[in-house]
A = this chain, B = another copy of it.
Amino acid sequence: MPDHPAHYVKLAEKAREAANMHSVSAVLAWDQETYMPAGGADARAGQLSLVARLHHEMCTAKELGELITACEADDRLTEGDTCESANIREMRRDYDKKTKLPAKLVSELTEATSRAQHAWKSARADSNFAAFRPFLDKVLELSREKARCLSDGSGELYDALIDVYEPGVKASEIEEVFTPLRKQISDLVRTIADNGKPPSTEILERPVAPAKQEAFGKFVAESCGFSFERGRLDITTHPFCEGVGPGDTRMTTRYREASWTDSLYGIMHEMGHGLYEQGLPLGESHGQGHVESQFGLPCGEAVSLGIHESQSRLWENAVGRSQAFWTWALPHAQKHLGQVMGDQTPESITRAVNTADPSLIRVEADEGTYNLHIMIRFELERALLSGDLSTADLPDAWNTAYKESLGLDVPNDREGCLQDVHWSFGLIGYFPTYTLGNLYAAQFWEKVREENPDLDDQIAKGNFAPLLSWFRSRIHIHGRRYTPSQLCERATGKPLSAEPLVRQLKQKLYPVYGIKQ
């Protein structure tokens, strides 16, 4: 489709302008976290707010809506499975989402979440849920209002909020996958706790200088395929990865001398996000032949948080915690990290980095138990939003769920229902995407190994190209052309299921804990 009609060309131009504005905002935000001097904070807030306002104006401009309508009326553009038809479909989706929310509600939400964040900070410090409760009630009330505005009338309100992060996925569908998953992981964790012999993790605590960790992390990222010509790695308090724009993907991490695997797996996680961003069709060649740049258009954007998380978790867990990976990585680790690795074997490291040890804090949870934390939050926020659960009963419900799923007594709300920042930010519907990401990753991993029987051998040789190339062609190159569910079915031939993840966790963890399957 070399010659696009004028209304499509104009629409793409407007969309690219908004995308440039978003890139500007991303640079400002990245700089704020990395290099901005402390004294610049107030002024930066003013800059970010101006850019956000201009970006919002661009995304909700009447002219943009009219151009979308004109394209929708043009059969040449909307027929068939083409980038153009997907772009128009998704631009309509974005435009409606942004214009459906009344300005009054948006500003109420901004104010309520700003207050809630402050309240949450001090409530958490004091472990005083009662002090946070009225703010959470307000956020929930406005989130219901938001969901009513966004909803198409079918299904439950929560669906409309999930849809913001994971397009087209419904709470009932998630429940169908999460229910067996929760039972099976809970059983697995209990089996390990009751019958397993924990591996030695002493190697993880040996001190390694941050500069050495950084050099090793960068070496691993580059070896896996992350381009430092088109990206960076810097230090921030809270690690993240941001696709600033074409040719500019920035990830961050943090280094603690006492925990070298924190930064290694942190980098591999962000690198997974980064490889996705670097693989989007933004006018650069990735060995896929010529691909028209979709910069600024939906087909040039990541499809969902869940699919994004699948990429980060795959590299972090499926690759980074495999024996094949350590077969290749160990000599390099010995070179970069030094003597500290001298007595290790691929087997010993692999055992140390694969554990399933129930703990109270989600962000510190291991691969084996992480999803239990998420599924508890999914169930609770869904009930909070529908009104089935009152915020007054949240701490009890939280603590009961932790006892049931993880076998733990929650000693206080700071380590319980006050531990996460998400609800105070109004991010209802966000949590499930973490576990969806793990599920997608496991299902993709099973498929890519099925299609590449020698994948372990390749990884053990440090050849990550077959793996990356599979993701480039099955996931990255499509952007938002297909929904997450469609992508999953196209890539693996099956709808999302709990089985691959459970199978993989058992395969990894049982041998480590000396449990026969």
CB-based contact B232/A43 at 8 Å: no
Chain B residues with CB under 8 Å of A152's CB are none
Q: Which of A41, A230, A245, A284 has the most CB of B within 10 A?
A: A245
CB-based contact B42/A27 at 8 Å: no
Q: Given A35-B35, A54-B54, is A27 in contact with B41 using a C-beta cutoff of 8 Å?
A: no
Q: Which of B41, B43, B50, B231 meets A17, CB within 8 Å?
A: B50
In the complex, chain A residues 17-72 whose Cβ is within 8 Å of any chain B Cβ = 17, 20-21, 23-24, 27-28, 31, 34-44, 46-47, 50-51, 54
In the complex, chain A residues 352-369 whose Cβ is within 8 Å of any chain B Cβ = none
CA distance A230 to B245 in the complex (A): 28
Q: CB of A399 within 8 A of chain B?
A: no
Q: CB of A404 within 8 A of chain B?
A: no
Q: Given A50-B17, A50-B24, is A37 in contact with B231 using a C-beta cutoff of 8 Å?
A: yes
Q: Mark A332-375, 1 if CB is under 8 A from B, else 0.
A: 00000000000000000000000000000000000000000000
CA distance A27 to B35 in the complex (A): 11
CB-based contact A40/B245 at 8 Å: yes
Q: Which of B20, B42, B230, B232 meets A35, CB within 8 Å?
A: B232
Q: Which of B24, B38, B234, B248 meets A39, CB within 8 Å?
A: B248
CB-based contact B31/A47 at 8 Å: no
CB-based contact A24/B24 at 8 Å: yes
CA distance A38 to B21 in the complex (A): 20
CA distance A419 to B232 in the complex (A): 35
CB-based contact A247/B42 at 8 Å: yes
Q: Given A43-B247, A246-B42, is A24 in contact with B51 using a C-beta cutoff of 8 Å?
A: yes
Q: CB of A229 within 8 A of chain B?
A: yes
CA distance A229 to B47 in the complex (A): 19
Q: Which of B21, B47, B51, B295 meets A245, CB within 8 Å?
A: B47
CB-based contact A227/B27 at 8 Å: no
Q: Given A17-B50, A21-B50, A229-B38, is A246 in contact with B27 using a C-beta cutoff of 8 Å?
A: no
Q: CB of A244 within 8 A of chain B?
A: yes
CA distance A232 to B40 in the complex (A): 11
Chain B residues with CB under 8 Å of A231's CB are 37, 39
15 additional contacts, CB 8 Å, given A23-B43, A27-B28, A37-B250? A16-B46, A17-B50, A23-B47, A27-B27, A27-B47, A35-B234, A37-B232, A37-B249, A39-B230, A39-B248, A39-B284, A40-B230, A40-B246, A40-B248, A44-B245
What are 27 contact pairs spanning A and B, CB under 8 A? A20-B47, A21-B50, A23-B43, A23-B47, A24-B24, A24-B28, A24-B50, A27-B27, A35-B232, A37-B229, A37-B249, A37-B250, A38-B230, A39-B227, A39-B246, A40-B244, A40-B245, A40-B248, A41-B247, A42-B246, A43-B244, A43-B245, A43-B247, A43-B248, A43-B295, A47-B245, A54-B54
- Please provide the 5 A-B residue pairs with the shortest distance between their CB atoms, ordered closest to farther: A39-B247, A40-B248, A39-B230, A43-B245, A43-B246
